[in-house]
Amino acid sequence: MSEEFSMYRKVILLTVGLVCVTAIPITYAANADSRWADYKNWTKLNAKPITGDHTGVLGKLHRGSDGVRFVYVNDIGAAASQAW
């Protein structure tokens, strides 16, 4: 009986652990930061998309060297980019 209980306990702990691990990204994605909600209304810095990972900084983020990116900046970023 003790061995069956131990196995049952392991299965329950594993199930709870998997639920917790998979629920964290879902919770994070569901609570997107509202500051970025209207980013497409911001100033677009590049007319053509930026492709690749020329600096090697992205790694696997944002699809890395396969990614295609447009850069949008808010009013503060637009002012800073014009100051250059």
Residues 80 and 65 in one domain: yes
Please report the pLDDT score of residue 57 as a whole number.
74
Judgement on whether residues 38 and 63 belong to the same structural domain of the protein? yes
Q: Can you tell me the distance from the alpha carbon of 60 to that of 34, in angstroms, rounded to the nearest whole number?
A: 25
Residues 59 and 71 in one domain: yes
pLDDT (average), residues 56-73: 77
Please say whether the beta carbons of 43 and 73 come within 8 A. Answer: yes
Residues 16 and 40 in one domain: no
Domain limits for position 22: 1-31
What secondary structure letter does DSSP report for 49?
P
pLDDT per position as a tens digit, 7-35: 778 777 777 776 666 666 555 556 677 88
Mean of pLDDT over the chain = 75
